[in-house]
Structure 1
């Protein structure tokens, strides 16, 4: 739940899945290699696992409630108990 100012003027929040909220920026690359931002969203929550792959669509990460970063919602088990780092 830690909240801090981010570099785009909003507030980044640490979520129970250990990912942060951040805005999505769409831009054009300029001739000098810099970006011209043409669109920006409000902060969106980071997701640990993609819903677009069947293998990870059933996974959630919730360190606050489940104490697990790779919880399988079908088998109701924590697949990974320890960090890889």
Structure 2
């Protein structure tokens, strides 16, 4: 979703309608759970039940280390593709 405000509800409804067999909707973001657009989407998007795939909450968005950043990104990607994992 490129535009959060105003949230393009009618466009989202049309996209969702194209995929009637979907059983797993995911909001994926690279930012930690307490940053990024997750909070906004949580309050404003309820067309379908969805789950979050992101990093856990952190005090700062940047990890301060390339190695740590790479590890956190890989962890977030696991949540995108494995609906049995939860945050």
TM over 0.5: no
Larger helix proportion of the pair: 2
From the CA coordinates, give the structure whose radius of gyration is larger: 1
TM-score using structure 2 length: 0.23
By relative contact order (CA 8 Å, sep 6+), the higher-ranking structure is 2
TM-score using structure 1 length: 0.23
Larger strand proportion of the pair: 1
